């Protein structure tokens, strides 16, 4: 699996409708479902384990659920080493656990399933200072050829 394959596949998910815990290309996904779906499309292997997380977990939960689940399937890397095709996690407040993630497509953008009111679809977003300072962790797929 190359980084180019990951980015190319992630771009094909743009405008897919956001739906909590979905992961179906052309139909619907959430941020975790996007990563699961991209992986499945490239490798043919579907991760069937569902992370049991409420849609708004970050509003009241201080337990890290996303991070330990990602550690099961992905290879953690230093955030400073993250490159296109890698996955970054976000916590939009210091006291929140990781609760969002996206796939880097180049130094300035990432693709993520956005559940915000009025958006609710997979979008490409500029990785501006606000997003960068909220990155908590970075991962790569184990099959990535560097």
Q: What's the pLDDT at 95?
A: 75
Residue range of the domain that includes 50: 3-140
Low-confidence ranges of the chain (pLDDT < 50): none
Number of domains in the chain: 1
The continuous run of DSSP H or E covering 70 comes out as helix 66-73
Q: What's the pLDDT at 39?
A: 96
- How far apart (Å, rounded) are the C-alpha atoms in residues 40 and 30? 15
CATH number of the domain that residue 51 is part of:
3.90.1720.10
* SS3 category, 57: helix
Position 146 in a domain = no
Question: From the centroid of its chain, how far is CA 108?
Answer: 16
Q: What's the pLDDT at 64?
A: 76
Position 145 in a domain = no
Position 61 in a domain = yes
pTM: 0.91
Q: Quick count: other Cβ atoms within 10 Å of Cβ 68?
A: 11
């Amino acid at each position: 699996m190359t980084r180019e394959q990951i980015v190319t596949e992630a771009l094909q998910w743009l405008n897919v409708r956001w739906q909590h815990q979905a992961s179906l290309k052309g139909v619907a996904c959430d941020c975790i479902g996007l990563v699961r779906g991209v992986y499945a499309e490239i490798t043919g292997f579907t991760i069937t384990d569902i992370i049991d997380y409420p849609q708004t977990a970050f509003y009241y939960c201080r337990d890290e659920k996303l991070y330990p689940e990602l550690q099961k399937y992905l290879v953690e890397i230093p955030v400073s080493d993250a490159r296109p095709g890698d996955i970054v996690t976000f916590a939009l407040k210091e006291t929140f656990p990781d609760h969002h993630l996206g796939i880097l497509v180049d130094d300035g953008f990432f693709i993520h399933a956005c559940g915000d009111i009025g958006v609710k679809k997979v979008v490409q977003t500029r990785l501006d200072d606000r997003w960068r300072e909220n990155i908590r962790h970075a991962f790569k797929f184990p099959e990535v050829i560097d």
